[in-house]
Amino acid sequence: MSHSDKVASVAGAESLARAVDLLTAGAWQEAHEIVQDENSALAAWLHGIVHILEGDLDNARYWYRKAGRVFPGPDAVQEELAAARRTVQAKRARHEQ
């Protein structure tokens, strides 16, 4: 991985961490602004969570499919947020090494 690719990857991880913080706070509109500009499977997953919180379940299902994840339904959103936070933290820890 080139230095510029690594810098971009770290920046992406930081922005997705911010998106998780916003989603946890219920600020799905602001999180949506972040995740729609990212192309990773993690961003797609977070995009799905955005649409669960928004109440747009058809769109949420689309983003879960794009992320390669099973759509858990709206009742699992808190568990999804916790899992997403763990995933983002692990990604950030890998970049700090």
Range of the domain at 43: 3-96
What local confidence, expressed as pLDDT, does residue 64 receive?
Answer: 98
How far separated are the first and last CA of the chain, in Å rounded?
Answer: 14
Give me the number of domains the chain comprises. Answer: 1
pLDDT 10s digits, 27-63: 999 999 999 999 999 999 999 999 999 999 999 999 9
**What's the 3-state SS for the chain?**
CCHHHHHHHHHHHHHHHHHHHHHHCCCHHHHHHHHCCCCCHHHHHHHHHHHHHHCCHHHHHHHHHHHCCCCCCHHHHHHHHHHHHHHHHHHHHHHHC
